[in-house]
Amino acid sequence: MQQTSISCFFPGRDSARTVSATEPPATEPSAQAEAPKLDDEQEFVDFFLSKARSPLIRGAPLRTRRIAVFGERYYWGESVTFPINQLPLSFCKWCVSNNYKDFNSVLVNVYDGKFSNIRWHMDATNSLQKEEVISISFAALRKHRKKPLADFEFRWPDKKGHSKKKTKTISIEHGTVVRFDAVKHRRKQCEHRVTKTLRPHVNVTLRKVAECRRQVCA
């Protein structure tokens, strides 16, 4: 058994735990995860919970999750986009302490209930200045920090028959980080989604979006 290329480590002060164990061939899309340092992040989690709204999509409020974007606009409109300097200091410090520096757009998705989800999609790579996307999930409530929050899934066409898809599922817990190369994923037609919301959680995705006009956080 080779080491996984879509792997996932859970934060712990002393140890990391690999969740998935099989590796797709090197030509297939990959995502990597790692163990961030966790301090008391409840402050910024509560801030994100209070800021996220349901933007309008084709005239009706999005019902599947709540959104906030800090910094450069990424996909969503002005109604849910805030200047990057409104990010809480605790969050900026947390990013610096985990060495997440090179981003200018922070997408916050809030999954409040069991029907919350994000459907199969790929990143809008034409708006990206950097391929790497870093996605970090946090439990909304302290009591759920050691429990599974949701499944993060990837699917991509099987090399032999394009109608068949291969899939990879990562079980998300508080502090799970998933990193992937959005450009490579688009090339390989690798999509992702978050389904099976088991407990309320907040996802924060860090991107470097093209035509950056504002200061990069950290």
Ligand X SMILES: O=C(O)CCC(=O)C(=O)O
Whose Cβ is closer to ligand X: residue 63's or residue 159's? Answer: 63
Whose Cβ is closer to ligand X: residue 81's or residue 205's? Answer: 205
Measure the CA–CA gap between 68 and 82, rounded to whole angstroms: 7
Rule CB under 6 A: is residue 186 a binding residue for ligand X? no
28, 41, 72, 123: residue in contact with ligand X (rule CB under 6 A): 123
Rule CB under 6 A: is residue 183 a binding residue for ligand X? no
CB of 42 to ligand X, least distance (A): 19
Whose Cβ is closer to ligand X: residue 35's or residue 206's? Answer: 206
Whose Cβ is closer to ligand X: residue 35's or residue 134's? Answer: 134
192, 208, 209, 217: residue in contact with ligand X (rule CB under 6 A): 192
Measure the CA–CA gap between 207 and 51, rounded to whole angstroms: 19
Rule CB under 6 A: is residue 203 a binding residue for ligand X? yes
Residue 24: both structure tokens together: 């797709």
Whose Cβ is closer to ligand X: residue 41's or residue 123's? Answer: 123
Rule CB under 6 A: is residue 205 a binding residue for ligand X? yes
- What are the b/e assignments for 139-167, b being 16+ CB within 10 Å? bbeeebbeebbbbbbbbbbeeeeeeeeee
Instruction: Describe the chain by its helix, strand, coil percentages, rounded to 5.
Output: 15, 35, 50
> Residue 107: which H helix or E strand, with range?
strand 105-111
Residue 166: both structure tokens together: 């291969």
92, 118, 141, 210: residue in contact with ligand X (rule CB under 6 A): 118
Rule CB under 6 A: is residue 194 a binding residue for ligand X? yes
Measure the CA–CA gap between 177 and 204, rounded to whole angstroms: 10
Task: Count the residues in the chain.
Answer: 218
Interface positions, 90-109, toward ligand X (CB under 6 A): 107, 109
Q: Which residues bind ligand X (CB under 6 A)?
A: 107, 109, 118, 123, 135, 137, 192, 194, 203, 205
